[in-house]
Amino acid sequence: MTTPIVRATSRRRFLQYLAGGPLAASGALSAYAAETPSKLPDPMIWAPPGSGDLIKSPKDAINVFEFEPVARQNTPPAHFGYMASGLDDEVTLRANRDGFLKFQLNPHRLNDVSKVDTSVELFGTKYDSPIFVCPTGGNQFFHPDGEVAVAKAARVGNHLQILSTSSNYSVEDVTKARGAPIWFQLYASPRFEVAQALIKRAEAAGCPVLMVTVDRIAGRNQETMFRLRRTDTRECADCHDRSSFAGRSVRRHNYDGIDLSGITGGGESSNLSWDTVKRMRDITRMKIMLKGIVTAEDADLAAQNGLDGILVSNHGGRGEDYGRSTIDALPEIIAAVKGRMPVIVDSGFRRGTDAVKALAMGAQAVGIGRPYLWGLGAFGQEGVERVLEIVRTETRTAMQQCGARSVKELTPGFVRRAT
């Protein structure tokens, strides 16, 4: 019975909306923004309405959700809307959170978990935590230090960072800030020459893995963004040149020096095919993974096509509003892959227990997107550091409490589908 929780949450939000009045409606001052409502308990239940109770410093945060209203307060409405938005009715966005209710942990007692090792190894590199930083474009929308601040925060906890093609800072600058190789996420673009130039650049910057995003194929209907953008008093054209893709990319430094003529719209890769991926294989020594696989059939095809791994992701509900959470799809994808390549996962992960469920199902690492952007928008690098620390600590605690001494020990017996 989850309905009363939904009602309680919605009612509290409604009261806060009323309390917020016109200011809140304009987006100038948030009532508690909180995430898209879901059937999960409100993470900030009993928080008094208004902005007086927002956290003042990263160390005050008791969970990752507390950064979101602070980020909302600090971030122009259009940028906040860009980050928060799902697509259409945002069914997938909500499903990503609700999906975790379909699974329960199965703790094992008396396992002596006085020592817990949360590290994971991916392609021969050890990371201290199974939590990785998802690629998100345009981090300067949230803080001037953008991806560099994120990299410095990832460095503190030795997290894997995957950098977006659409980052504001270049792959070289971010690698330097991270102090270790990062992975490069590729938006292939409709012209292979552009993909080729980006691949060469990432390889030269020392990236060991190319993460090809395969779920940004068409345009997207980001209604939350469009709605919040209406409340933004600034002139978008002052910073964004939407007249051409080349103009749009002026502040996306990975494109520097690359001929972008003929690329229109958002540069969606609607002509991407298994053949394109084969061509990529021929021009790089980097490992190649696919980001955006959501079905067992495609996971099997990826293994058959010699991919080095997949990231099970629905782009945080931003690919298409197809309605299913990644945690729900994960078990059948793991079964289809049959250990032929590593499987990692993202979309909707907010808690250590969320991560432990996926790791127990067989994912080798778990990515977070929006939570670190909340941290970035709220407090810059320190905010990202604290967000990562919270998820890291929660994951460790959940492992320990479940009776697993290492990520390897987290096997399917630690999770069950709720009946």
Residues identified as active-site: 315
Neighbours of 325 (CB within 10 A): 23
Which residue(s) pair with 117 in the sheet?
A: 406
- The dihedrals phi and psi of 237, each to the nearest 5 degrees, come to -65, -15
Per residue in 219-243, is it b (16+ CB within 10 Å) or e — as a string? ebebebbeebbeebeeeeeeeeeee
Radius of gyration of the chain (CA): 21
By CB under 6 A, tell whether 129 contacts ligand FNR. no
395 touches ligand FNR by CB under 6 A: no
- Give whichever of 393 and 401 is closer to ligand FNR, judged by the CB atom: 393
Residue with the CB atom nearest ligand FNR in the bound state: 369
Tokens representing 66 are 């507390």
Amino acid making up residue 217: I
366 strand-pairing partners: 131, 345
Span of 49-57, 106-114, 192-200, 368-376 interacting with ligand FNR by CB under 6 A: 368-376
Is residue 213 involved in binding ligand FNR (CB under 6 A)? yes
The reply on whether position 166 binds ligand FNR by CB under 6 A is yes
Which CB sits closer to ligand FNR, 58 or 348? 348
Q: Which of 220, 315, 357, 392 binds ligand FNR (CB under 6 A)?
A: 315
Q: Which residues contact 78 (CB under 8 A, 6 or more apart)?
A: 225, 228, 229, 232, 234, 236
Tell which residue, 67, 91, 94, 71, has the closest CA to residue 82. 71
Stretch in the footprint of ligand FNR (CB under 6 A) among 113-121, 196-204, 367-375, 394-402: 367-375
DSSP element (H, E) containing 132: strand 131-133
Regarding 83 and contact with ligand FNR (CB under 6 A), the answer is: yes
Residue 77 is a binding residue for ligand FNR (CB under 6 A): no
**348 binds ligand FNR, rule: CB under 6 A:** yes
Q: Tokens standing for 103?
A: 């699974």
**Contact at 8 Å (CB) between 160 and 127?**
yes
- Among the listed ranges 9-17, 243-251, 337-345, 346-354, the one in contact with ligand FNR (CB under 6 A) is 346-354
Q: Is 74 in the site for ligand FNR (CB under 6 A)?
A: no
* Shortest distance (Å) from residue 314 CB to ligand FNR: 7
Helix or strand or coil: residue 125? Answer: strand
Q: Which of 137, 208, 331, 403 forms a contact with ligand FNR (CB under 6 A)?
A: 137
Residue type, 280: M
- Among 135, 375, 377, 383, which residue interacts with ligand FNR (rule: CB under 6 A)? 135
Please state whether beta strands 120-122 and 125-127 pair in parallel, antiparallel, or not at all (unpaired).
antiparallel
Rounded Cα distance between 186 and 166, Å, is 9
Question: Quick one: which of 13, 252, 287, 291 contacts ligand FNR (CB under 6 A)?
Answer: 291
For position 316 contacting ligand FNR by CB under 6 A, the verdict is: yes
Phi-psi label, residue 362: left if phi above 0, alpha if psi -120 to 50, beta otherwise: left
Residues 170/256, Cβ–Cβ less than 8 Å: yes
- 368 is an interface residue for ligand FNR by CB under 6 A: yes
Q: How would you classify residue 183: left for phi > 0, otherwise alpha for psi between -120 and 50, otherwise beta?
A: beta
Q: Per CB under 6 A, which region of 23-31, 69-77, 133-141, 299-307 contacts ligand FNR?
A: 133-141
**224: contact with ligand FNR by CB under 6 A:** no
190 is a site residue for ligand FNR (CB under 6 A):
no
Round to whole Å and give the CA distance between 301 and 303. 5
Using CB under 6 A as the binding rule, whether residue 90 contacts ligand FNR is answered as: no
CB of 111 to ligand FNR, least distance (A): 30
For ligand FNR, the closer of residues 20 and 318 by Cβ is 318
Is residue 313 close enough to count as binding ligand FNR by CB under 6 A?
Answer: yes
Q: How many residues bind to ligand FNR according to rule CB under 6 A?
A: 24
Q: Which segment (132-140, 220-228, 271-279, 389-397) binds ligand FNR by CB under 6 A?
A: 132-140
CA dihedral sign of residues 105, 108, 114, 118:
negative
Report the residue number, 140 or 164, with the smaller CB distance to ligand FNR. 164
Interface residues toward ligand FNR, by CB under 6 A: 82-83, 96, 134-137, 164, 166, 185, 213, 291, 313, 315-316, 318, 346-349, 368-370, 373
